[in-house]
Structure 1
Amino acid sequence: MLKIANHPMYVYPLPKGHRFPMEKYELLPQQLLYEGTCIAENFFEPEMPLNEDILAIHTEEYFESLLNLTIDKRAARKIGFPLSKELIERELRIAQGTIEGCEYALNHGIAMNIAGGTHHAYTNHGEGFCMFNDQAIAARYLQKKKLADKILIVDLDVHQGNGTAEIFKNDPSVFTFSMHGAGNYPFKKEKSDLDIAVPDGSGDEIYLQKLKQTLPKLIDEQNPDFIFYLSGVDILETDKLGRLNCTVEGCKERDHFVLGLCKDLDIPVQVSMGGGYSPDIKIIIEAHSNTFRVAQEIYF
């Protein structure tokens, strides 16, 4: 049975133009239930994480400034959300959802997070609508609990995983791979262990060719015990922030390739959804739903 971390929605004001990215977290499980891809038992609501799991990645000063809403205005603007205790709680539960998903994936091969993919969160600050780096937190949790030794993070969001790259820049036990839009945010990029910058307008053929030439060899070289997959759908041609011009079908083929590889190689994988900013919310939901459909097809 597919296990999916779902998150209660809190009502709080959002910057103009950012309705859809939040709305999708409510609509996506509704769609999966409606079409029968998932049943209610597939979903769970995470608990709050232990502070020690957050502090294994983020500095105490940064963590406390968010918990107490004392973060300075400039740092808050860089995150992009109007901060509230409800939002901080939601972000913490997202991180815990990824942790709990990892434990399930170790036994069943795969687990999903409706949200997550908060890869712009650094050790000591947040940006780009990311506060706590869920997959980095979960990676360190697995290592601390001796559930995994070597970890591979496969970040296929259109934006480089700059926070993840910074967090693990001196840590050979976690290999960071980011394949992202060359001309996209962040404009000053960090150095991942492997970065592939895809030119604007590349489309399905070039994008998938680069991925298929790279990932099998990378997995073979790194021999990871566990894989984190960030499956952002902002690579779509309809995405207002993406510019890579991939189709919904191409995005689905990407997911099928990555998850099929993990399944064939018997490597547990945790999947977080990442970005998606097409003006038509139906396209976002369809592309994200495909990730879950593919997971069900391959694993269950």
Structure 2
Amino acid sequence: MQAFYADHFVLPLPEGHRFPMAKYARLRERLARELPQVELREAEPASDGELALVHTPTYIDAVRTGTLAPVAQREIGFPWSPAMAERARRSVGATVQACRRALGGAGLAANLAGGTHHAYADKGSGFCVFNDAAVAARLMQAEHARAHRARGMLRVAIVDLDVHQGNGTAKIFAQDDSVFTLSLHGAKNFPFRKEPSDLDVELPDGCGDAEYLEALERALEELERRFDPGLVIYLAGADP
């Protein structure tokens, strides 16, 4: 199995910043130590053209050139820097590479630092600059269409188990029946204004393992009844 990483692009965050940026390198180091059979590969950056399958040209350009307005940087939660822009591209690139690997015959691959599900088409939010799952889904559909013209649209399911609802992903695919968005999340957690996914499962604070797993099993059964994907993108979050 291959896993892609971009943890060497470390953002110069202010002292006391609450985002635990060091966790990505620690995860890669632990994987290398405890699961040496996992092949770790450096992620390539997503191009402007790939990002534009989801994001607006104006927003892509603002991230690239460092012209994001202060209010936009505050909503993202990171100050702009060249490392911030490069890491955002490579976080998307890692998911793209993992999807290509999975669809190319491996069946399974991973991004160690994706899941940037709060990013909308025209803005970032909640420590998410570009939406890696959305860009990867759109790009895999485009590549599938070129390679298999007679087979129809690649159907993609995005299964999001982060404690926070995948609001950006839900909004991006709100009118797209070729992508099914499933979000299992804390009812009272961020974002406080949710976007409707194809299937939202809200859980109470203090939800235990048995209750969580029962809700997940029901949600996956509902997904299976309603949708037949050719690709599944799973967002683990750091929470389950």
Give TM-score, length-normalised by structure 1: 0.74
In structure 2, the gaps of 5 or more residues are: 146-152
Match of 1:132 among 130, 137, 151: 130
Query: What is the letter of the counterpart of residue 18 of structure 1?
Result: R
Supply the distance in 2 between the matched residues of 1:62 and 1:15 (Cα, whole angstroms).
27
1:183 matched to 2:188:
yes
Q: How many angstroms apart in 2 are the aligned matches of 1:162 and 1:11? A: 24
1:123 has 2:121 as partner: yes
Question: Per-residue CA shift, 1:203-238, capped at 9, x if unaligned?
Answer: 111111111122033124201110000001324xxx
Partner of 2:24: 25
- 2:50 alignment counterpart: 53
Do 1:94 and 1:134's aligned partners in 2 also have CA atoms closer than 8 Å?
A: yes
Number of matched residues? 231
Give the match's secondary structure for 2:46: coil
How far did 1:32 drift?
1.4
User: Does the alignment pair 1:42 with 2:39?
Assistant: yes
Q: Which residue of 2 aligns with 1:207?
A: 212
Question: Do 2:119 and 2:169's aligned partners in 1 also have CA atoms closer than 8 Å?
Answer: yes
Distance (Å, rounded) in 2 between the aligned partners of 1:91 and 1:173: 26
User: Aligned in 2, Cα 1:92/1:45: closer, same or farther, shift over 3 Å?
Assistant: same
Question: Any residues of structure 2 matched to 1:139-150 within 5 Å, and which?
Answer: 139-146=137-144, 149-150=154-155
Which digits, 9 at most, give the CA deviation of each residue in 1:167-196, with x for residues without a partner?
A: 001111111110100000000111111111
CA, structure 1 residues 60+15, in 2 after alignment: closer, same or farther (shift >3 Å)?
A: farther
Q: Partner residue of 1:16?
A: 16
* Counterpart-to-counterpart distance in 2, 1:176 and 1:63: 24
Name the structure 1 match of 2:150: none
Greater RCO, 1 or 2 (C-alpha within 8 Å, sep 6+): 1
Identity of aligned residues (%): 42
Cα deviation, 1:17-40, whole Å, max 9, x if unaligned, reads: 425x211111111111222x135x
2:161 to 156, 164, 170: 156
Hey, what does 1:222 align to over in structure 2?
227
Tell me how far apart the structure 1 counterparts of residues 112 and 36 of structure 2 sit (CA, whole Å). Answer: 13
For residue 6 of structure 1, what is the aligned residue in structure 2?
A: 5
Q: Which structure has greater helix proportion?
A: 1
Unaligned runs of 5+ in 1: 236-300
Deviation at 1:47, TM superposition (A): 1.7
The CA deviation at 1:152 is 0.5
In the alignment, which residue of structure 2 is the partner of 1:263? none
> Aligned to 1:197, what secondary structure does the other structure show?
strand
3-state secondary structure, aligned to 1:22: coil
- State the alpha-carbon separation in 2 of the partners of residues 14 and 129 from structure 1: 14
CA contact (8 A) 1:6 1:113 kept: yes
Shift of 1:50: 2.1
For 2:149, the equivalent position in structure 1 comes to none
Equivalent residue letter for 1:26: A
- Cα distance in structure 1, aligned partners of 2:15 and 2:164: 20
Does 1:65 find its partner at 2:62?
Answer: yes
Root mean square deviation, CA, Å? 1.5
Contact 1:9 1:26 in 2 (8 A): no
Tell me, in whole angstroms, the C-alpha distance in 2 between the residues paired with 1:48 and 1:211: 33
- 1:127: how far off? 0.5
**Whole-angstrom distance in 1 between the partners of 2:15 and 2:209:** 32
8 A contact 1:14–1:81 mirrored in 2 = no
Please give the residue correspondences for 1:231-250 in structure 2 after superposition, counting only pairs within 5 Å: 231-235=236-240
CA contact (8 A) 2:47 2:89 kept: no
Question: Tell me, what secondary structure is at the counterpart of 2:129?
Answer: coil
